[in-house]
Amino acid sequence: MAAAALRRCLTRRQSIPRVSPLLPLTRLISDSTDPITIETSLPFKPHLIDPPSRSTTTTAAELASFFRTMLLMRRFEIAADSLYKSKLIRGFCHLYDGQEAVAVGMESSLTRRDAIITAYRDHCLYLARGGDPVSAFAELMGRKAGCARGKGGSMHFYKRDANFFGGHGIVGAQVPLGCGVAFAQRYRKEGTVTFDLYGDGAANQGQLFEALNMAALWKLPVVLVCENNHYGMGTAEWKASKSPAYYKRGDYVPGLKVDGMDVLAVKQACKFAKDHVLANGPIILEMDTYRYHGHSMSDPGSTYRTRDEIAGIRQERDPIERVRKLLLAHDFATAQELKDLEKEIRKEVDAAIAKAKESPMPDPSELFTNVYVNDCGLESFGVDRKVVRTVLP
């Protein structure tokens, strides 16, 4: 006990990394960067490729950062649920709680020069890319301070300076767009990659297979990530897919099935995938994950699955609780310190909501701005700009 206490004193020097600058973080959870080796919860399932090792290297500082970021995401989505029910968020809203390990583990393997594009369940991916909770809440509530100036809403978060090319509302439409981003990366010889996310519901879209064919032909640096949360819009995967082994669906393209509830497994798989696509072209990662909320706010999420199923996943596979257990097992934090951190995250989210509410709504005159690009070099295509302006606003 004395040795453990001494080690704790020696390793605690700084607070763990922050996601936003709203409130100071005072807890002194270990920030040690000494490497430790942990085995992933489940083996990887490969298709046409040798899988990565199950042994992953991490540190106390990284685990603490994972824990804090996932806590913020979880609390953000719970708050979004409440704001929607209070009618402060209107329109569509798709929540990500339960799937946080995918966003966090993926981000830990990338740089901000690498690109991410996803569908409409995009709030937490925006936060993972360094997005500010204030701008995220403001966007949800349609305020000017939002990341898309309040004009995109829940399904259209965007952060160009971090190469986050957003949420897209058309099912599967982001997949060929992501392959286009990867084409640009290869054309410019950037040495970067694109992670192109879609769900199990979009996995049967024809455009996915068309884009994958071109990506394989041209050896584009694109990782296709199927976030398989096992339910589309009220439809279980086995009712929609004859072959729900999505990591094999690329046929001639290698694939890997990953425990998407294990942040270290996601980190390991994404690092492996990034190295692969830079050298060989596309790969498919199937993230076996789970959403706790319904498909969207209009879906109670309990008519096509049982409450016992949801509770069982929470108890056995929850990504945040897994990291909590690691922090406690390695004596990087005490249970009370982690509870105190949860309280601080709650205050941070509440402060972000209050600040977002201070932002005004966009002026009605903004309704038709940013719909078309007026200065896009049309003359180079032999198009008369005057004629175009008689047609477009």
Confidence tier at 302 by pLDDT (50, 70, 90): confident
Phi, psi for 137 (deg, rounded to 5): -65, -40
Q: In the predicted model, is pLDDT for residue 294 greater than 90?
A: yes
User: What is the C-alpha separation between 101 and 164, in angstroms, rounded?
Assistant: 18
Interval 296-322 mean pLDDT: 95
Length of the chain: 393
Tokens read off for 198:
């879609």
301 residue type, one letter: G
pLDDT number for residue 23: 44
pLDDT number for residue 18: 42
User: What is the C-alpha separation between 214 and 67, in angstroms, rounded?
Assistant: 38
Q: Kind of pairing, strands 115-117 and 194-199?
A: parallel
Q: In the predicted model, is pLDDT for residue 339 greater than 70?
A: yes
Instruction: Reduce the DSSP state of residue 178 to 3 states and report it.
Output: helix
Q: In the predicted model, is pLDDT for residue 4 greater than 70?
A: no
Interval 318-328 mean pLDDT: 98
Question: pLDDT (tens digit, 9 = 90+) per residue, 126-175?
Answer: 999 999 999 999 999 999 999 999 999 999 999 999 999 999 999 999 99
pLDDT number for residue 384: 53
Closest by Cα among 281, 315, 200, 264 to 70: 264
pLDDT number for residue 379: 54
Question: pLDDT (tens digit, 9 = 90+) per residue, 77-97?
Answer: 999 999 999 999 999 999 999
pLDDT number for residue 64: 98
Confidence tier at 377 by pLDDT (50, 70, 90): low
Give the CA radius of gyration of the chain: 22
Confidence tier at 15 by pLDDT (50, 70, 90): very low
Q: Kind of pairing, strands 36-39 and 55-58?
A: antiparallel
Q: What is the mean pLDDT of the chain?
A: 90
179 CB contacts (<8 Å, ≥6 apart)?
194, 196, 211, 212, 214, 215, 220, 222
Question: pLDDT (tens digit, 9 = 90+) per residue, 342-372?
Answer: 999 999 999 999 999 999 999 998 888 878 7
245 residue type, one letter: A
Beta strands in 120-213 (DSSP E): 194-199
Q: Are 100 and 124 in contact (CB under 8 A)?
A: yes
Q: Kind of pairing, strands 255-259 and 222-228?
A: unpaired
DSSP H helix total and E strand total for the chain? 13, 8
Q: In the predicted model, is pLDDT for residue 24 greater than 70?
A: no
CATH of domain 2-391: 3.40.50.970
Return the residue matching tokens 């020696």: 10
> Distances from the Cα of 89 to the Cαs of 97, 106, 161, 169, 216, in angstroms?
17, 28, 26, 17, 41
Q: Are 153 and 83 in contact (CB under 8 A)?
A: no
> Distances from the Cα of 344 to the Cαs of 26, 95, 234, 389, in angstroms?
9, 22, 35, 53
Burial class (CB in 10 A: 0-12, 13-18, 19+), 1: exposed
pLDDT number for residue 369: 84
Query: How is the chain split into domains, by residue range?
Result: 2-391
Phi, psi for 227 (deg, rounded to 5): -80, 90
